[in-house]
Amino acid sequence: MLLVVDIGNSHTVVGLYVDDLLQAHWRLKSDHKQTVDEIAIQFHTLFSMAAIPQLKITGIIISSVVPSLEAAWLECCTKHFSRHLSSPPFIVNDKTMSGLITIDIDYPGEVGADRLVNGLAAWSQYNTNLIVIDFGTAITFDCITENCEYIGGTILPGVAISLEALAAKTAKLPHIDISTAPASIIGKNTVDAMKSGILHGYGAMIDGLVDILGQQMSTITPPTCLATGGMANLVIPHCKKVGHIEQMLTLEGLYYIYTTVYGRQS
């Protein structure tokens, strides 16, 4: 069994692969103060609920953008799983990704591990020029060439951050739920106007950035554009330029990286 862990600023996504199958996955809140023992208790609870024998885990790969949590997860995995692992836990960064993807940016050490994982995962599936959009705490656009070169991208505030800012910094704008779209782009009330601004506004902005990035990539044909992340299903229906949603992209990328380096875990 292979345990894959993607630690983000807001959420941590954990998956368990048996052969080529994602047998189980969980989305957890990222607690930046979580201790090694608290992570172990969380593990035990999740595995027990899913009737999964944790002693059968033979491989672990971790992608993180939160250094303190990365250290805690690594210590937890080393402490509780090391006797059964066929190799040490694999930590994704620009150095461990060497040979898997070319990182053609000014400072390779600055790029988030999840962005490299997503780029490689998308390239492994599509083998073409790509723009990968991840709807996380921030929304990231990552550009990948057909030769599996990560050439950079853009970063902008995520949907939740924008909603929080609107409610916190204005006297009369409320916290809203955007799981249902407004009846019209022209909002007839405050809540619908806010929904329209977020959904259609982000949709139009994404389409515009995809156009600009595609022109900068100077490819003969427009790059394939795909999205992942928690808010993708809400925003992408209001875009015209994004053709695919791959919600398990990061977990699939972690699986691809580990099995490329070490071979398949049964």
Beta bridge partners of 225: 131
pLDDT in tens, 18-57: 888 999 999 999 999 999 999 999 888 988 888 887 768 8
Set 6, 94, 104, 114: catalytic member:
114
| Nearest-5° Cα angle at 243, 237 to 245 | 70
pLDDT in tens, 13-28: 999 998 889 999 999 9
Instruction: Please report the pLDDT score of residue 255 as a whole number.
Output: 97
**How many domains does the structure of the chain reveal?**
2
| 230 in the same domain as 118 | yes
| 129 in the same domain as 217 | yes
Read off the CATH number of the domain in which 58 is found: 3.30.420.40
Residue 114: active-site member:
yes
- pTM equals 0.91
Nearest to 171 by CA among 187, 196, 190: 190
Instruction: Please report the pLDDT score of residue 26 as a whole number.
Output: 94
Residue 161 banded pLDDT, cuts 50, 70, 90: very high
> Average pLDDT of 67-82?
90
pLDDT in tens, 175-209: 999 999 999 999 999 999 999 999 999 999 999 99
Phi and psi (nearest 5°) for 25? Answer: -150, 150
Which residue segment(s) compose the domain that 54 sits in? 2-91
| 175 in the same domain as 63 | no
Question: Are the C-beta atoms of 84 and 55 separated by less than 8 Å?
Answer: yes
| 106 in the same domain as 62 | no
Label residues 53-78 b or e (16+ Cβ within 10 Å = b).
ebeebbbbbbbbbbeebbebbbbbbe
